[in-house]
């Protein structure tokens, strides 16, 4: 127990554990009946009712700082009254008073110029273990002066009528008081994405840093940096894991004014449904003591995890310190950005396996953030459904999407970077017509060919609808799969699917149209079958 007082936060008579090691936290979780140690010694917990984020229950306090800067919308950036926040904060600290709590000091941003220090106070020991795994770590409490306070109280339920929340659970950011309140949900992703949202406001607004929801790696020999944007299910973590390149991070990064890319975090939070040693070797080997599994199911009568069992959720996860992966860039930052990849799962089978984008197309597809929901990914999804998440991370982007897009345009103006769209979805027709998904080994070869410069040596053809350039050849890849138009047996159906997807793009882009110019508008696809 620590003598650290929490009275200045309004928390009275608490017993506090500070900066506990993963081993001690794991023992406490098991002793308190809050988790199970698996056959391999890894802690497994069940996050309860919530096994994923609840975007509609994430709020930002509306005040003089945020009033004219936040892109207020009902879907993601919902406003919260300052007085309601103060009242709710008081209820939370009253709830925590007299309890045994878990305190940790850590920081975000591996580039020390932008370091953000966080003090977290958690009700549950496994929340504290998650924070240890995901934040950048320091050895002792009190060695840094906290910039922000994070209160994580899964057992506290708000009263929507009096507290101003939508339901009993909530995640609220207060930029004036620099406090994050998370309550009513044990899902640890709420912690991660709350911090990401804070940085996505602070860094572009005050530091001229472009925040990105992407993976990043760097070549071992050429020291060239690559960025991988992509929504869930597109293969962002898988494809950025490359034995010939060092991982900078798998999810959240900043891009500075002097062209340094740095990881926000000190750990990884990976989906592991269906994981295997062959398919995901880097993540598979990170499943060891000190990591934490969420919402997994055990094989009957054993403590061996069944990674193919999604009876609790398809969103089974693992958190671990990034140094659990051998092939990492130890500084968690790099320069010399040479390639950007937009990963999309196109269930309609009309986008090519790889295409080279010009600046306007890069801005257009970044702004839209397209992928597809397919059968099984969400309840009641029976047919492919196009889905969009602006800037490949809409729920975590507090500013207007155009602001982040303009930052990307500025980077492309000032650097010589190749931007690629990579379709990790269907290439031989749509899902429902018997088409099938591109093989992972082919996607890897295409990405590697872009990285090593092979694709700069081949001829291209321009797609008449999307106007991006498709390579005619790629080393080690059959040229028959490179252009989707040539893979479809039914050309009439191909044209129908192209038109359907393009119309979705145009409709999704319409709300942004008045904010844009030719830097983005000229990247829009046009239906033209006469060329």
Catalytic, 236? Answer yes
CA dihedral 185, 289, 241, 328 (to 10 degrees): 110
Residue 106 is given by DSSP the state E
Instruction: For residue 428, give the nearest of 527, 531, 344, 353 by alpha carbon.
Output: 353
Query: Whole-number mean pLDDT of the chain?
Result: 92
Contacts of 409 (CB under 8 A, 6+ apart): 359, 363, 519, 520
Of 104, 192, 236, 246, the catalytic one is: 236
- Token code pair at residue 344: 């999309």
The DSSP bridge pattern shows strands 370-373 and 385-388 to be: antiparallel
DSSP 3-state assignment of 147? coil
* Confidence at residue 531, expressed as pLDDT on a 0 to 100 scale: 39
The beta-carbon contacts of 488-493 under 8 Å, at least 24 apart in sequence, are 488/349, 488/428, 488/429, 489/429, 490/429, 490/433, 493/429, 493/433
Q: Residue 411 to residues 98, 305, 337, 350, 389: CA-CA distances in angstroms?
A: 51, 44, 10, 29, 21
Q: Residue 271 to residues 30, 241, 344, 413, 488: CA-CA distances in angstroms?
A: 23, 14, 17, 35, 32
Domain 7-32+54-206: CATH architecture, name and number where available: 3-Layer(aba) Sandwich (3.40)
Catalytic, 317? Answer yes
Residue 147: pLDDT band (50, 70, 90) is: very high
Catalytic, 526? Answer no
The position carrying tokens 């009528």 is: 161
Neighbours of 16 (CB within 10 A): 18
Of 119, 192, 317, 469, the catalytic one is: 317
Q: How much of the chain exceeds pLDDT 90, in percent?
A: 79
Q: Where in the chain is the domain with CATH 3.40.449.10?
A: 7-32+54-206
pLDDT per position as a tens digit, 152-201: 999 999 999 999 999 999 999 999 999 999 999 999 999 999 999 999 99
DSSP 3-state assignment of 145? coil
Of 250, 251, 431, 463, the catalytic one is: 251
**Domain 210-255+336-521, CATH:** 3.90.228.20
The DSSP bridge pattern shows strands 170-174 and 317-321 to be: unpaired
With 80 as the cut, is the pLDDT of residue 472 above it? Answer: yes
Q: Is the model more confident about 387 or about 125?
A: 125
The 3-class SS string of 293-306 reads: EECCEECCCCCCEE
Of 232, 418, 433, 454, the catalytic one is: 232
Q: Residue 488 to residues 2, 270, 441, 478, 531: CA-CA distances in angstroms?
A: 66, 34, 21, 15, 18
- For the chain, how are helix, strand and coil distributed in percent, rounded to 5? 30, 25, 45
Q: Where in the chain is the domain with CATH 3.90.228.20?
A: 210-255+336-521
**What is the rounded CA–CA span in Å between residue 401 and residue 389?**
10
Residue 469: pLDDT band (50, 70, 90) is: very high
pLDDT per position as a tens digit, 188-205: 999 999 999 999 999 999
**What is the rounded CA–CA span in Å between residue 513 and residue 401?**
12
CA angle 307, 342, 234 (to 5 degrees): 20
Of 53, 119, 253, 445, the catalytic one is: 53
Of 47, 122, 165, 237, the catalytic one is: 237
Residue 438 is given by DSSP the state P
* Confidence at residue 429, expressed as pLDDT on a 0 to 100 scale: 66
Of 213, 245, 246, 338, the catalytic one is: 213
With 50 as the cut, is the pLDDT of residue 515 above it? Answer: yes
Residue 434: pLDDT band (50, 70, 90) is: low
Catalytic, 105? Answer no
Q: Residue 170 to residues 93, 160, 360, 376: CA-CA distances in angstroms?
A: 15, 10, 38, 27
Q: Residue 355: enclosing H or E segment and its boundaries?
A: strand 354-357
Residue 528: pLDDT band (50, 70, 90) is: low
Of 193, 246, 373, 437, the catalytic one is: 193
Catalytic, 53? Answer yes
Section 206-217 average pLDDT: 97
Asked if 293 and 45 touch (Cβ cutoff 8 Å), the reply is: yes
Catalytic, 213? Answer yes
Catalytic, 237? Answer yes
Catalytic, 178? Answer no
């Amino acid at each position: 127990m620590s003598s650290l007082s929490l009275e200045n936060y309004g928390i009275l008579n608490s017993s506090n554990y500070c900066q506990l090691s993963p081993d001690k936290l794991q023992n406490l979780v098991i002793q308190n009946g809050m988790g199970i140690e698996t056959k391999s010694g890894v802690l497994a917990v069940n996050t309860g009712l919530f096994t994923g984020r609840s975007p509609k229950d994430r709020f930002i306090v509306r005040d003089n700082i945020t009033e004219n800067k936040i892109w207020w919308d009902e879907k993601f950036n919902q406003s919260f009254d300052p007085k309601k926040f103060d009242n709710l904060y008081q209820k939370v600290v009253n709830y925590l008073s007299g309890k045994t709590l878990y305190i940790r000091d850590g920081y975000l941003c591996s580039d020390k110029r932008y370091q953000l220090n966080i003090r977290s106070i958690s009700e549950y020991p496994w929340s504290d273990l998650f924070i240890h795994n995901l934040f950048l770590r320091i050895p002792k409490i009190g060695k840094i002066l906290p910039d922000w306070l994070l209160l994580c109280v899964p057992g506290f339920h708000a009263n929507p009528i009096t507290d101003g929340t939508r339901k009993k659970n909530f995640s609220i950011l207060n930029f004036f008081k620099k406090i994050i309140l998370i309550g009513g949900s044990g899902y640890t992703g709420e912690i991660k994405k709350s911090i990401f949202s804070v940085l996505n406001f602070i860094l572009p607004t005050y530091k001229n840093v472009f925040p990105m929801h992407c993976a990043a790696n760097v070549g071992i020999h050429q020291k060239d940096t690559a960025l991988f944007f992509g929504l869930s299910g597109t293969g962002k973590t898988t494809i950025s894991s490359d034995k010939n390149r060092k991982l900078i991070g798998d999810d959240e990064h900043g891009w500075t004014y002097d062209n340094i890319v740095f990881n926000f975090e000190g750990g990884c939070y990976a989906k592991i449904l269906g994981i295997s040693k062959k398919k995901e070797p880097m993540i598979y080997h990170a499943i060891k003591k000190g990591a934490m599994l969420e919402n997994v199911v055990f094989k009957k009568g054993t403590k061996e995890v069944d990674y193919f069992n999604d009876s609790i959720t398809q969103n089974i996860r693992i958190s671990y310190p990034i140094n659990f992966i051998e092939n990492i860039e130890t500084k968690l930052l790099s320069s010399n950005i040479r390639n950007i990849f937009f990963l999309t799962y196109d269930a309609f089978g009309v986008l090519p396996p790889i295409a080279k984008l010009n600046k306007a197309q890069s801005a257009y597809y970044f702004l839209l953030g397209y992928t597809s929901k397919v059968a099984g990914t969400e309840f009641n999804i029976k047919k492919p459904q196009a889905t969009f998440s602006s800037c490949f991370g809409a729920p975590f982007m507090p500013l207007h999407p155009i602001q982040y897009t303009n930052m990307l345009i500025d980077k492309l103006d000032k650097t010589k970077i190749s931007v690629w769209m990579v379709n990790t979805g269907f290439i031989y027709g749509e899902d429902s017509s018997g088409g099938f998904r591109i093989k992972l080994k082919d996607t890897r070869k295409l990405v590697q060919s872009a990285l090593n410069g092979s694709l700069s040596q081949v001829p291209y053809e321009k797609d008449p609808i999307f106007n991006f350039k498709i390579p005619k050849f790629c080393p080690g890849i059959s040229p028959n799969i490179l252009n989707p138009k040539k893979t479809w047996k039914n050309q009439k159906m191909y044209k129908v699917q192209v038109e359907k997807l393009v119309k979705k793009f145009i409709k999704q882009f319409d709300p942004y149209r008045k904010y844009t110019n030719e830097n983005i508008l000229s990247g829009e696809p046009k239906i033209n079958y006469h060329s």
